[in-house]
């Protein structure tokens, strides 16, 4: 893994992906959106087949009760930069945002910000996200 020192070019994908994953009226998603509002990216590392963006806070936010670990929000990425596209998934640890993973489908190389992209939820993903938050 290689640490990215300047993450600004990655932020549109991270911000739009997080907004899509956490979209909805469920109170648990609202807790996670509140966490996101006060979070910053503590690290961004690229692997050659995607990235991991880790979150941190100046003050520890309210945790999502009853969730120790979860992976939610499988988002599809369509882009000319990746032959078969890619995806995003959000990891929670101890009821808090932990990391956002971006990954490729197939053998595409991905170690630079995308030039353009469109995001969408896989069919049934909102229901899967909420199931992932069940204690």
Span 70-119, pLDDT tens digits: 998 879 999 999 999 999 999 999 999 999 999 998 888 999 999 999 99
Number of domains in the chain: 1
Specify the pLDDT at position 86. 95
Contact between 38 and 59 (Cβ < 8 Å): yes
Q: Whole-prediction pTM value?
A: 0.91
What is the residue range of 128's domain?
Answer: 2-132
Q: How far is CA 86 from CA 32, 51, 82, 113, 127, in A?
A: 23, 11, 7, 13, 20
Q: Residues 105-131: pLDDT tens digits?
A: 888 899 999 999 999 987 766 676 667
Contact between 102 and 50 (Cβ < 8 Å): yes
């Amino acid at each position: 893994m290689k640490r990215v020192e300047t993450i600004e070019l990655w932020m549109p994908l991270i911000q739009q992906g997080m907004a899509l994953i956490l979209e909805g009226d469920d109170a648990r998603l609202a807790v996670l959106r509140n966490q996101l509002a006060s979070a910053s990216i503590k690290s961004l590392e690229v692997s050659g087949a995607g990235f991991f963006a880790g979150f941190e806070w100046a003050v520890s936010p309210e945790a999502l009760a009853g969730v120790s670990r979860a992976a939610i929000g499988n988002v599809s990425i369509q882009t000319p930069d990746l032959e078969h596209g890619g995806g995003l998934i959000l990891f929670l640890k101890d009821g808090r945002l932990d990391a956002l993973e971006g990954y490729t489908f197939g053998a595409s190389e991905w170690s630079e910000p995308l030039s353009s992209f469109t995001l969408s939820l896989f069919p049934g993903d909102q229901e899967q996200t909420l199931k992932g938050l069940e204690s």
